[in-house]
Structure 1
Amino acid sequence: MTYFTKRLLILFVLVYIVPLSNSIQNDSDVEGRIDFLQSSMARMEQRILTLTKTVNKLSRRKKDEYVMFYATLSTDTVLNINSIVKFNEIQFDEGADFNSGDGVFVSPVSGVFMFAWTTLTHSGKSIDTELRVDNVVKAQQIISLGSSAGSIQTTQFVICRVNEKDHVWIQTGSGFTAENFFDHLFKGSKSSFMGILIHVI
């Protein structure tokens, strides 16, 4: 190889090969940076999604921690057997879903609840009631007063597990009395129904 050929080859390398390799390297760097930015954005979006789900879950749990209702009867009520007691006056409702139209509570969360219901009647009358959770009897309460007993109220307490979307209500029983008489008011006392969430499951 002559001196002139060597010089020409060196010139060719300097003019064409080196810039081409630099260009390839620069393009590779740009593509690498783009790939890095895209993967970083994907990771950031995933973290934001995870944080959003966590916040929503905590917000829902905070709301679910406060579920309670208290409802009363607005008038004297006479019911036959197997009839739902429609406590139609909502005195308090916090995070609950008590329907004053049909007297049924629909649980917004699975948890352990305390329920209590008070029945008020007077001389010569009887009341047979039971608490039902999705139509399963959890407790029963019976009052049967003599002719000179006056007005009396009794309260029954129940602690039980309730699943989300379960329906809970008070209804008259089927075996004790055919006619159930509920006083709605006597010296400030009322027939009533209440429920309180103790803890979420």
Structure 2
Amino acid sequence: MVRMELNVEAMYKEMQQARDQVTSGLNDVGAMKQTVGTLQTYFTDNMNKSDTVVAFNAHTIVDKSLATGQVLVFSNPLFNIGEAYDSGAGIFTAPVSGVYFFSAHFCLYASRSWRYAFMKENDVVVVKGSNYDGNDHVCETASAVVLLLQNERLWIECQSGSTDDLFYSNSNRRSSFSGALLHRVNGYP
């Protein structure tokens, strides 16, 4: 009988050890599940914020005498990463919501003046300017940092038309339009 008690006692201790190991293993599994969940959230969030590269630089103005309200078209892209700039229409369409930087460089003949605006959807004027020099050919640069929502468009529009050729170009001067995504914005507004 004593021998049976020792046997039951030993079995009881072994069962307790086995139970403790199972409990410890379950705790480890729970911790691993939590780690996996955290990693899934991290990767999902970062995939949504992945580096999206959008950038273009185009030159060669198609129509050098513009009507009021006409879009200025730069037909020759040096590069168009993300294919967001339409060189046939002169319009940039945001592939993702984000903060973008745009810059335009205009070179005009002497004694020519023009007014322009960077425009976005719903006739929102982003930046306005004018250019004139009575004595010499002149170049001017305009730039803007703009928040665009996905599929929102931006373009340069002539604000005062002219029947004269406005834009001057040679080996030292060339008008251009460029833009780039600075930072992707998720969930705005």
CA deviation string 1:152-175 (max 9, x = no partner): 1000111121111001100101xx
Once the two structures are superposed, the pairs formed by residues 5-24 of structure 1 within 5 Å of their partners are none
Q: Report the counterpart of residue 64 of structure 2 in structure 1.
A: 77
Matched, 1:141 2:129: yes
Which ranges of structure 1 fall in alignment gaps of 5 or more residues? 1-46
Over 3 Å counting, the alpha-carbon distance change for 1:82 and 1:130 in structure 2 is same
Q: Report the counterpart of residue 193 of structure 1 in structure 2.
A: 177
Structure ID, larger Rg = 1
Q: 1:177: how far off?
A: 5.3
Residue correspondences, number: 149
Q: d(CA) in 1 for partners of 2:164 and 2:128? A: 14
Q: Report the counterpart of residue 167 of structure 1 in structure 2.
A: 153
- Using the size of structure 1 for normalisation, the TM-score is 0.64
Matched, 1:118 2:144: no
Q: Counterpart of 1:160 in structure 2: which amino acid? A: V
Look up the SS of the partner of 2:50 in the other structure: helix
Q: d(CA) in 2 for partners of 1:197 and 1:86? A: 20
Q: d(CA) in 2 for partners of 1:77 and 1:128? A: 14
Q: Counterpart of 1:72 in structure 2: which amino acid? A: H
CA deviation string 1:1-37 (max 9, x = no partner): xxxxxxxxxxxxxxxxxxxxxxxxxxxxxxxxxxxxx
Q: d(CA) in 2 for partners of 1:180 and 1:107? A: 33
Look up the SS of the partner of 1:195 in the other structure: strand
Which ranges of structure 2 fall in alignment gaps of 5 or more residues? 1-35
CA RMSD of aligned residues (A): 2.7
- Using the size of structure 2 for normalisation, the TM-score is 0.68
Identity among equivalent positions (%) equals 21
